[in-house]
Amino acid sequence: MKENVLVFNSKLDAEFLNSIYENDKEHAEMVFEQFLLSIGMQLTEIEDSYISGDTEFFRKKIHKLKPVLSFVGLTGLTGKAEVLEKKCLEVTDIINLNELYTGFKNELKEMIPIVEDELLKLRDN
């Protein structure tokens, strides 16, 4: 008998999500909700640190966000955050991260509505 099997959007890493939540809908709902409550502020902090030109502060903000992405199924973005974080140690001017950061930021912003939809699905089941 299959009950309460969590099915996630194909744009998310469903295999990873199922491995960490093991059909615990309440836990998944809590984590998705926390992500959505905090992501706006985190993106603002990341953007502010980028604009300020402080590569080390920017790196720390990316580092803080990195694991959280996986917990909502954005493992691809976790990998991109890892690359961005490492590149911070290799550049002398933050402007050299522009293309990488812009791609990361835009992809993340595109994925937020999918995470929002998943939270609604978790609440409805």
DSSP state of 22: T
pLDDT one-digit tens code per residue, 110-121:
999 999 999 999
Predicted confidence at residue 91, as pLDDT, reads 94
pLDDT above 80 (res 3) = no
Mean pLDDT estimate for the chain = 94
**pLDDT exceeds cutoff 50 at 62:** yes
User: What angle is formed at CA 66 by the lines to CA 38 and CA 113, rounded to 5 degrees?
Assistant: 50
pLDDT in tens, 70-85: 999 999 999 999 999 9
